[in-house]
C-alpha cells in the first residue's frame, strides 16, 4: 500500500485517531472540527455502512479542498435517508437529480465551475451500487472517457437496498436477495454474473481508481485526499456493509467490512491510468466462512445442509483475488 502506515504502539494506523499521534497522522474523522458533511438526524438504519462511508468521503474531500466541494447524489438510500422534506442532513452544497445520472450531473457541475473559472471548487458524485454499475453506468462511462473533473464514489452494499434488497450487478454469487431467493438448485444469486466496476473504471484509463472499505479509515481518507490531488475523472469504490440487506448485526458493520478485505473477497487497491499501483495487504488471512457466516443472506450455505461446494467456490474466488492483486505479503 502506497499509503504509509505509522508503526505505532497501541493502535498504530488502524484506529481513528489517538491523542499521541501527530495531527497529520490522525484521520480527518478524529478532528473536533471535521465538517460532518452528513450531520445528525439522518434516517439511515442502525449501523448503516453507507452513512458512515459518505461522511468519511465528504469530510475527507472537504478537508482536502479547503471546504470547497459540491456533491451530486443519485437516487437511493443515501438520498432518501438524508433529504426527506423538510429536513436535510447535508452540510455541503448537494444536488439530487435522478437515479442513473449522478455522474452526468457531476460533469455538468464541473463544466459550470470551469466556465465560471472556479476550478478550486471540486465535484464529488456519489451513488450506490445500482446507481453506479447498473442504471448509472452509461453516464459514468461517459464521465470517465471524457475525463471530466469529477470524483465518483460508489458506496457498494451489493444490492438495491432502498427498494427492499433486490439483486444488482454488484450482488455477489450465492447471496440471497428478494429477486434471487435462496430456493431451487442454485439458491441465491447465480454464479458467473455481475460486474467488477473498479476494473471497468480502470479500463477507461482514468487518472485514479481505488477501492476501500469503511473498516480502514486511514486508507479510505488517504485515497479520497489523493483523488483530490488529481484533475480529471476519478473513481473510488467503497464497500459499505448493510445490516438490513446482508442480515447482519448493526454492530458488525465495520467488522464485516474488515473481514471482506481480510478474506480476499474484496480486494483493496489503487490504480493509476489503468495500472494497479498499490494493494492493501491482508494482515491476517481468514477463511471466507468467517465472513459469510455472519450474514443471513448466506444462511442457506450453512442450514439446513451445509453447502461446502458453494463455500469452497467462494473461497476459490477470494483466493483468485488474492493472486490477482497480490494481497498477501509485507505491507
Partner 1 sequence: MMERPFAITLEVGTSRANKTGGWRTQRPVYVDRLPPCNDACPAGENIQGWLYRAEEGDYEGAWRVSMEDNPMPAVMGRVCYHNCETACNRANLDEAVGINAVERFLGDRALTGGWRVEVEQPDLAGRVLVIGAGPSGLSAAYHLRRRGHEVTIYEASTASGGMMRFGIPAYRLPRNVLDGEIQRIVDMGVGIELGHKVCDLMVEMEGGGYDAVYLATGAEIARNAYIPAGDSARILDALSLLRTTAGMTYPQLGRSVVVYGGGNTAMDAARTAKRLGASEAIVVYRRTRDRMPAHDLEVEEALEEGIKMRWLSTIKKAGAEKLLLEKMELDAAGFPQPTGEFEELEADSVVLAVGEEADLSLLQNVPGLDMSGGMVHVDSTMMTSYPGLFAGGDISQAERTVTAAIGNGKKAARHIDLWLKSGGMWARLPGAPSKEEHQPAPAGERHRIAGWGDLNTWYYSDAPATVRPKLDMVRRQSTFDEVVLGLDEDNALFEARRCLSCGNCFECDNCYGVCPDNAVVKLGTGMRYEFDYDYCKGCGICAAECPCGAIEMVLEET
Partner 2 sequence: MLEQIEGSKAVARAVASCRPEVICAYPISPQTHIVEALGSMVKGGELKSCEFINVESEFGAMSALIGASATGVRSYTATASQGLLFMIEAVYNAAGLGLPMVMTLANRAIGAPINIWNDHSDAMAVRDSGWIQLFADSNQAAVDLHIQAFRLSQDVSLPVMVCMDGYILTHAVERLDLPEQESVDKFLPPFEPRQVLDVDDPVSIGAMVGPDAFAEVRYLAHAKQMQAMELIPTIASEFRSVFGRDSGGLVRGYGLDGADTIVVAMGSVLGAIEDAVDELRGAGIMAGAIGITTFRPFPISAIREAIGTPARVVVVDRAFSAGMGSILATDVALALSHQSVRIYTVVAGLGGRAITRTSLVHCLEDAANDALEPLTFLDLDHDVVNRELARMGKDRRSGPSAENILRDMGLPGSG
Question: Which residue, among 146, 201, 155, has the nearest Cα to 57 in the 3D structure?
Answer: 155
Q: Is 126 helix (H, G, I), strand (E, B) or coil?
A: strand
Q: Applying CB under 8 A, which of residues 108, 207, 245, 264 lies at the interface with partner 2?
A: 108
Least Å from the CB of residue 90 to partner 1:
6
At residue 125, what are phi and psi to the nearest 5 degrees? Answer: -105, 140
Burial of 169 by CB count in 10 Å (0-12 exposed, 13-18 middle, 19+ buried)?
middle
Give the range of 11-19, 106-114, 128-136, 303-311 binding partner 1 by CB under 8 A: 11-19
Nearer to partner 2, 146 or 285 (CB): 146
Site string for partner 1, 69-108 (x = CB under 8 A): -------------xx-xxxxxxxx----------------
**Which H helix or E strand runs over 275?**
strand 275-279
Q: How many CB atoms lie within 10 A of CB 97?
A: 15
Using CB under 8 A as the binding rule, the residues of this chain from 187 to 246 that contact partner 1 are 217, 243
Question: Which residue, among 226, 222, 298, has the nearest Cα to 259 in the 3D structure?
Answer: 298
DSSP 172: P
At residue 2, what are phi and psi to the nearest 5 degrees? Answer: -65, -30
Instruction: Give the dihedral of Cα atoms 302, 305, 306, 309; nearest 10 deg.
Output: -120
79 binds, among partner 1, partner 2, none (CB under 5 to 8 A by kind): partner 2
- Residue 86 as a binder of partner 2 (CB under 8 A): the answer is yes
Q: Are 161 and 245 in contact (CB under 8 A)?
A: yes
DSSP 180: B
Using CB under 8 A as the binding rule, the residues of this chain from 276 to 315 that contact partner 1 are none
Give the range of 108-116, 179-187, 231-239, 271-279 binding partner 2 by CB under 8 A: 108-116
- Residue 25 as a binder of partner 1 (CB under 8 A): the answer is no
292 binds, among partner 2, partner 1, none (CB under 5 to 8 A by kind): none
321 binds, among partner 1, partner 2, none (CB under 5 to 8 A by kind): none
- Residue 40 as a binder of partner 1 (CB under 8 A): the answer is yes
Q: How many CB atoms lie within 10 A of CB 330?
A: 4
Q: What angle do CA 142, 145, 147 make, to 5 degrees?
A: 105
Instruction: Give the interface with partner 1 as residue ranges (CB under 8 A).
Output: 5, 7-20, 26-27, 29-30, 32, 36, 38-44, 46-49, 51-52, 55, 82-83, 85-92, 217, 243, 249-255, 258
| Contacting residues toward partner 2, per CB under 8 A | 67-70, 72-73, 79-80, 82-86, 88, 90-98, 100-101, 104-117, 121, 138-139, 141-142, 145-146, 148
Amino acid at each position: 500500500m502506497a499509503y504509509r502506515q505509522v508503526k505505532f504502539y497501541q493502535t498504530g494506523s488502524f484506529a481513528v485517531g489517538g491523542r499521541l499521534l501527530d495531527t497529520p497522522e490522525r484521520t480527518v474523522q478524529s478532528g473536533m472540527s471535521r465538517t460532518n458533511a452528513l450531520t445528525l438526524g439522518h434516517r439511515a438504519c442502525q449501523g448503516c455502512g453507507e452513512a458512515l462511508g459518505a461522511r468519511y468521503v465528504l469530510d475527507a474531500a472537504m478537508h482536502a479542498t479547503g471546504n470547497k466541494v459540491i456533491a451530486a447524489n443519485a437516487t437511493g438510500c443515501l438520498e432518501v435517508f438524508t433529504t426527506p422534506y423538510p429536513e436535510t442532513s447535508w452540510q455541503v452544497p448537494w444536488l439530487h437529480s435522478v437515479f442513473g445520472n449522478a455522474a452526468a450531473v457531476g460533469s455538468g457541475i464541473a463544466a459550470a465551475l470551469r466556465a465560471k473559472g472556479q476550478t478550486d471548487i471540486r465535484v464529488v458524485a456519489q451513488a450506490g451500487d445500482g446507481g453506479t454499475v447498473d442504471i448509472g453506468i452509461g453516464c459514468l462511462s461517459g464521465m470517465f472517457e471524457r475525463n471530466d473533473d469529477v470524483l465518483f464514489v460508489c458506496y457498494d452494499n451489493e444490492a438495491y437496498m432502498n427498494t427492499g434488497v433486490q439483486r444488482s450487478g454488484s450482488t455477489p454469487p450465492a447471496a440471497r436477495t428478494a429477486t434471487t431467493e435462496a430456493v431451487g438448485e442454485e439458491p441465491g444469486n447465480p454464479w458467473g454474473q455481475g460486474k467488477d466496476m473498479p476494473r471497468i473504471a480502470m479500463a477507461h484509463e482514468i487518472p485514479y481508481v481505488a477501492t476501500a472499505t469503511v473498516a480502514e479509515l486511514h486508507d479510505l481518507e488517504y485515497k479520497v485526499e489523493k483523488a483530490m490531488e488529481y484533475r480529471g475523472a476519478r473513481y473510488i469504490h467503497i464497500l459499505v456493509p448493510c445490516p438490513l440487506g446482508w442480515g447482519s448485526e448493526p454492530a458488525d458493520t465495520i467488522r464485516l467490512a474488515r473481514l471482506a478485505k481480510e478474506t480476499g473477497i474484496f480486494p483493496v487497491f489503487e490504480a493509476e491510468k489503468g495500472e494497479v499501483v498499490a494493494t492493501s495487504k491482508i494482515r491476517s488471512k481468514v477463511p471466507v466462512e468467517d465472513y459469510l457466516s455472519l450474514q443471513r443472506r448466506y444462511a442457506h450455505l450453512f442450514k439446513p445442509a451445509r453447502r461446502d461446494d458453494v463455500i469452497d467456490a467462494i473461497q476459490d474466488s477470494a483466493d483468485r483475488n488474492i493472486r490477482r492483486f497480490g494481497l498477501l505479503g509485507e505491507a
